[in-house]
Amino acid sequence: MGRPRSEEARRAVLDAAYAILVETGLGRFSTEAVASRSGVARTTIYRWWPTRGLLAIESFLDAFRAQLVYAETGDPLTDFRALLDSLVRVLSGPAGLVAASVMAEAQSDPETRRVFLEVFSVPLRRESARLLGRGIEGGVLRADLDLAVVLDAAVGAVYMRLLLGQPLDADWSNRLADTVLRGCLPGPDR
Amino acid sequence: MGRPRSEEARRAVLDAAYAILVETGLGRFSTEAVASRSGVARTTIYRWWPTRGLLAIESFLDAFRAQLVYAETGDPLTDFRALLDSLVRVLSGPAGLVAASVMAEAQSDPETRRVFLEVFSVPLRRESARLLGRGIEGGVLRADLDLAVVLDAAVGAVYMRLLLGQPLDADWSNRLADTVLRGCLPGPDR
Amino acid sequence: MGRPRSEEARRAVLDAAYAILVETGLGRFSTEAVASRSGVARTTIYRWWPTRGLLAIESFLDAFRAQLVYAETGDPLTDFRALLDSLVRVLSGPAGLVAASVMAEAQSDPETRRVFLEVFSVPLRRESARLLGRGIEGGVLRADLDLAVVLDAAVGAVYMRLLLGQPLDADWSNRLADTVLRGCLPGPDR
Amino acid sequence: MGRPRSEEARRAVLDAAYAILVETGLGRFSTEAVASRSGVARTTIYRWWPTRGLLAIESFLDAFRAQLVYAETGDPLTDFRALLDSLVRVLSGPAGLVAASVMAEAQSDPETRRVFLEVFSVPLRRESARLLGRGIEGGVLRADLDLAVVLDAAVGAVYMRLLLGQPLDADWSNRLADTVLRGCLPGPDR
DNA sequence: TAATAAGCGAGACGGTACGTCTGGTCTTACC
DNA sequence: GGTAAGACCAGACGTACCGTCTCGCTTATTA
């Protein structure tokens, strides 16, 4: 009952949060700043986003979702490359700063880490694993592939460059895919 | 001239900073807390460590240095595995939490990022690259290896698991080395 | 709109400020000390009293007001003596220390001086001048009295003894009135 | 034994202290500021002037002494007027700000008050009292004069205007002398 | 003429208080 | 019952000075 939640306020908060993260990073990302920028009262923000981290995550996902391409050409290797490339492309833009902010926040707030894993990291891994799995089934990838570790290496490289502030671009993304996939091809142990 | 810097105070500050980062992470890592725990005056801390991040880095390096093994058996691949394993072993302990804190801090303080890169990341890469380079010279690794990307993948995987709070252990470290090195061996492009 | 100001907090601050000034003088009169003694947050104090001096003045006036007697017997000379006596009596007590503190503070803060003049000094002079004016009208005081200077002499003597830490008592107050008024009586220039 | 005190340092400190008090008042009068302005080490200042107040007093007296005229024309009333005028003239200049600062400091430091009384206030009163005393002896002033109170009124008026930031000039000084002396002349009690 | 004792500049140290910023919580009025 | 406004307590921020404490260097006196 009572007055329904204001969608207007929700949008204003998420937009302001995203903008602040993109423009100035975590440093100036305070409830105070979001409130003043969005014109929404601080109390209202606290009501719906109990912690800074959760607000950051939501504003990130909100902007990130649907930007990631889960294309399906039939060729698992091509699809995997495309997925990696898509990830890199998105993270090289403003959303990258927001993602990095969320990971930083996660270091001091376990709840933020949990939600980040759950809503972003795990689904991404699941999809990637599915593609590689189809490669195995199709015989284009080694049957004894250590899937988890391959994904750690591929995705970890992206995260690392993001967090260290090193450039992410399509060329690098291709070289990453080359390097990772080369170890996944079938063939004799040399 | 003037009164010489107190080595005692320096040690107390670094120890307290390290302990706080290990025990409670960045959340409670304030100059205030370090001062009160170390018994050193807040002004003294500011005199030597102008920002939180630099204090975190120094306390991390101080504890990290010499824990990392740069062994040299003559076999570059074995040495590379040992280095990776050593990195994982150190980061799986308390120093890992401190490293993660520093990386988080680096997201909001460019100076922290710069120093972290300079004093930790770059030297580690340099050493790793040297080992792989010797493998190429010796013919046990492909001549056309994309060294930079291989290191991104190997080290990135470690960073990622660290930051996402996922376990780092010797078994995983070995599997990571297996996976990474497999793609580096010489052989026909398949 | 918004939450209304807490009268409780206001009282606690003024009382604590007054008590500190009385007990230890300006030396230990810090926002910090008032906050800790009153139990009111430092930020709340800053919200309402932007400077130390204004807080001191308000706590002084708050305690001083209504202690000063503006009696009216019909005889202006008697009333003037009573006013002077009343001033001396009040300033010889705890409020005297607070008044002295405010005057000291006024030496380094023009705003404090301005407010002190406006809310304390000027009204006191106005009332005194009114009494003496009625004496002139009634013919008991010289018509060519230099009112401003007479008040400078009468009130200045009180201020001076207060600031130099010399005793203020009824006997002295009477002698002061005698001395000042003697020069104000009508009579031939001798 | 040992190295003798540096007169150069002493002068530099007193000059700097005086200049600071004149230019910015007590607000910026810190040992730090005096040290940095004078080029003398902070420790050296503390060696010779244990408290702020004593430094202020010394720098004041140093500049004030000999500015005050104790002329002696033979006519005590004229001499008294001259003394008052001289006091007003000196205090209306830069030394006035310094004197006011010292009195302010005296409110939080009893030692400062004691020394101020001893080296400035008491000698001034003594000289003034001597002049008025000669007036009584000569019969130009009432024999039953309340000397202490007359001086309180005369000097107090000057102090008060100084501390309240009100102008001190020769005209006012003459009117003050007129007003005060009028009550001191012999004649019937009216 | 060397030792020595005090003065001095430099600058670190443990502290206190500053005035500001932000975090969360609360209370009130309005919608 | 949601929302805006804004007060409240709490506590960290980075800075300015405080008064004390080593230091190493300088300068007279005295042995």
Q: How far is D76 from chain C (nearest CA, A)?
A: 16
**Whether the predicted pLDDT of D116 surpasses 90:** yes
The pLDDT score that the predictor gives to residue A66 is 63
The pLDDT score that the predictor gives to residue D188 is 66
Please tell me which residue lies nearest to nucleotide E29, judged from CA to C1'. Answer: C1
**Mutation site for C-interface testing, chosen from D141, D146, D182, D184 by largest number of C Cβ within 10 Å:** D182
The pLDDT score that the predictor gives to residue C66 is 65
- Tokens, residue B176: 């990571």
What gap in Å lies between CA C158 and CA C162, rounded to an integer? 6
D43 Cβ nearer than 7 Å to chain F strand: yes
What gap in Å lies between CA C168 and CA C175, rounded to an integer? 11
What gap in Å lies between CA D184 and CA D17, rounded to an integer? 41
List chains adjacent to chain C, taking adjacency as at least 3 C-beta pairs closer than 8 Å: D
% pLDDT > 90, chain D:
87
B159–A161: do the CB atoms touch at under 8 Å? no
**Whether the predicted pLDDT of D67 surpasses 80:** no
Q: b/e per residue, B118-144, with b = 16+ CB within 10 A?
A: ebbbeebbeebeebbebbbeeebbbee
- Tokens, residue A79: 């699809």
Three-point CA angle D155, C182, C175, nearest 5°: 60
Q: How far is the CA of C71 from the C1' of E5 (A)?
A: 70
CA A53 from centroid of its chain's CA atoms: 14
The pLDDT score that the predictor gives to residue A139 is 93
Least confident of A6-10, C85-89, D108-112: A6-10
In this structure, are residues B45 and B31 in contact, taking their beta carbons and an 8 Å threshold?
yes
B27 Cβ nearer than 7 Å to chain F strand: no
> Helical H runs in B67-146?
76-92, 94-106, 110-116, 122-137
Q: How far is C171 from chain D (nearest CA, A)?
A: 11
Please tell me which residue lies nearest to nucleotide F4, judged from CA to C1'. Answer: A41
Question: With bands split at pLDDT 50, 70 and 90, how would you rate the model's confidence at C188?
Answer: low
Nearest to A101 by CA among A61, A156, A50, A141: A61
> For the CA atoms of C58, C59, C65, C68, what is the dihedral angle to 10 degrees?
-120
Q: Mean pLDDT over residues D137-146, rounded?
A: 95
Mean pLDDT score of chain B: 93
The pLDDT score that the predictor gives to residue D65 is 75
Please tell me which residue lies nearest to nucleotide F10, judged from CA to C1'. Answer: C41
Question: For D7-61, which CATH superfamily applies?
Answer: Homeodomain-like (1.10.10.60)
Other C-beta atoms lying within 10 Å of the C-beta of residue C12: 18
What gap in Å lies between CA C169 and CA C92, rounded to an integer? 7
B180–A183: do the CB atoms touch at under 8 Å? yes
The pLDDT score that the predictor gives to residue A28 is 85
Q: Which residues contact A106 (CB under 8 A, 6 or more apart)?
A: A53, A112, A113, A116, B104, B163, B164, B165
C8 Cβ nearer than 7 Å to chain E strand: no
Encode pLDDT of D153-177 as tens digits.
999 999 999 999 999 999 999 999 9
Encode pLDDT of D119-141 as tens digits.
999 999 999 999 999 999 999 99
Nearest to C20 by CA among C57, C56, C70, C45: C56
C27 Cβ nearer than 7 Å to chain E strand: no
Q: Among all chains, which residue has been given the structure tokens 């291989």?
A: B150
Mean pLDDT score of chain D: 93
* Domain ranges for chain C: 7-61, 67-189
Q: In this predicted model, which residue has the larger pLDDT, D63 or C53?
A: C53
In this structure, are residues B108 and B26 in contact, taking their beta carbons and an 8 Å threshold?
no
Amino acid (one-letter) located at D42: R
B52 touches chain A (CB under 8 A): no
Q: Mean pLDDT over residues C63-78, rounded?
A: 81
Q: How far is B6 from chain A (nearest CA, A)?
A: 32
In this structure, are residues B101 and B21 in contact, taking their beta carbons and an 8 Å threshold?
yes
| DSSP letter string, A87-134 | HHHHHHSHHHHHHHHHHHHHTT-HHHHHHHIIIIIHHHHHHHHHHHHH
B87 touches chain A (CB under 8 A): no
For B9, B40, C23, D80, the CA distances from B6, given in Å and listed in that order, are: 5, 10, 39, 63
A5 Cβ nearer than 7 Å to chain E strand: no
For A111, C158, D121, the CA distances from D87, given in Å and listed in that order, are: 74, 19, 12
Nucleic chain F contacts, protein chain A, residues 19-58, CB cut-off 7 A? 39-44, 47-48
What gap in Å lies between CA A103 and CA B157, rounded to an integer? 15
The pLDDT score that the predictor gives to residue A61 is 87
- Tokens, residue D153: 């009124």
Q: Mean pLDDT over residues A91-100, rounded?
A: 93
Encode pLDDT of C109-145 as tens digits.
999 999 999 999 999 999 999 999 999 999 999 999 9
What gap in Å lies between CA C152 and CA D2, rounded to an integer? 53
Question: With bands split at pLDDT 50, 70 and 90, how would you rate the model's confidence at A72?
Answer: confident
- Tokens, residue B82: 């040992």
A168 touches chain B (CB under 8 A): no
**Whether the predicted pLDDT of C77 surpasses 60:** yes
Question: With bands split at pLDDT 50, 70 and 90, how would you rate the model's confidence at A57?
Answer: very high
Q: Mean pLDDT over residues D32-56, rounded?
A: 96
B104–A108: do the CB atoms touch at under 8 Å? yes
- Residue among D107, D116, D172 minimizing CB distance to C104: D107
The pLDDT score that the predictor gives to residue C59 is 93
D41 touches chain C (CB under 8 A): no
% pLDDT > 90, chain A:
75
% pLDDT > 70, chain D:
98
The pLDDT score that the predictor gives to residue D66 is 66
Q: In this predicted model, which residue has the larger pLDDT, B164 or D65?
A: B164
B172 Cβ nearer than 7 Å to chain E strand: no
User: What's the whole-model pTM score?
Assistant: 0.90
In chain D, which among 134-163 make CB contacts under 8 A with chain C? Answer: 146, 149-150, 152-161, 163
- Quick check: helix, strand or coil at residue D79? helix
Encode pLDDT of A131-161 as tens digits.
999 999 999 999 999 999 999 999 999 999 9
B55 touches chain A (CB under 8 A): no
D58 touches chain C (CB under 8 A): no
List chains adjacent to chain D, taking adjacency as at least 3 C-beta pairs closer than 8 Å: C
Q: How far is the CA of C36 from the C1' of F21 (A)?
A: 31
Q: How far is the CA of D1 from the C1' of F29 (A)?
A: 6
One digit per residue, pLDDT tens: chain B, 190 residues? Answer: 889 999 999 999 999 999 999 999 898 999 999 999 999 999 999 999 999 999 999 999 988 876 777 778 889 999 999 999 999 999 999 999 999 999 999 999 999 999 999 999 999 999 999 999 999 999 999 999 999 999 999 999 999 999 999 999 999 999 999 999 999 988 765 4
**Whether the predicted pLDDT of A70 surpasses 90:** no
Other C-beta atoms lying within 10 Å of the C-beta of residue B70: 14
CB pairs under 8 A between C and D: 133
D65 Cβ nearer than 7 Å to chain E strand: no
Q: How far is C50 from chain D (nearest CA, A)?
A: 16
The pLDDT score that the predictor gives to residue C189 is 57
Encode pLDDT of B118-134 as tens digits.
999 999 999 999 999 99
Q: How far is the CA of D114 from the C1' of F26 (A)?
A: 37
A30 Cβ nearer than 7 Å to chain E strand: yes
User: Residue by residue, what is the 3-state secondary structure of chain C?
Assistant: CCCCCCHHHHHHHHHHHHHHHHHHCHHHCCHHHHHHHHCCCHHHHHHHCCCHHHHHHHHHHHHHCCCCCCCCCCCHHHHHHHHHHHHHHHHHCHHHHHHHHHHHHHCCCHHHHHHHHHHHHHHHHHHHHHHHHHHHHHCCCCCCCCHHHHHHHHHHHHHHHHHHCCCCCHHHHHHHHHHHHHCCCCCCCC
Q: Is D43 exposed, middle or buried (0-12, 13-18, 19+ CB in 10 A)?
A: exposed
Sign, CA dihedral C58-C62-C68-C70, equals: positive
B184–A183: do the CB atoms touch at under 8 Å? yes
Intrachain domains C7-61 and C67-189 with the same fold: no
As a CATH number, domain C67-189 is 1.10.357.10
Mean pLDDT score of chain A: 90
| DSSP letter string, D99-166 | HHHHHHHHTT-HHHHHHHIIIIIHHHHHHHHHHHHHHHHTTSS-TT--HHHHHHHHHHHHHHHHHTT-
Neighbouring C-alpha atoms within 13 Å toward the C-beta of B106:
26
The pLDDT score that the predictor gives to residue A19 is 92
Q: Among all chains, which residue has been given the structure tokens 């106005």?
A: C126
Q: Which residues contact A145 (CB under 8 A, 6 or more apart)?
A: A132, A136, A184
**Whether the predicted pLDDT of A71 surpasses 90:** no
**Mutation site for D-interface testing, chosen from C20, C108, C190 by largest number of D Cβ within 10 Å:** C108
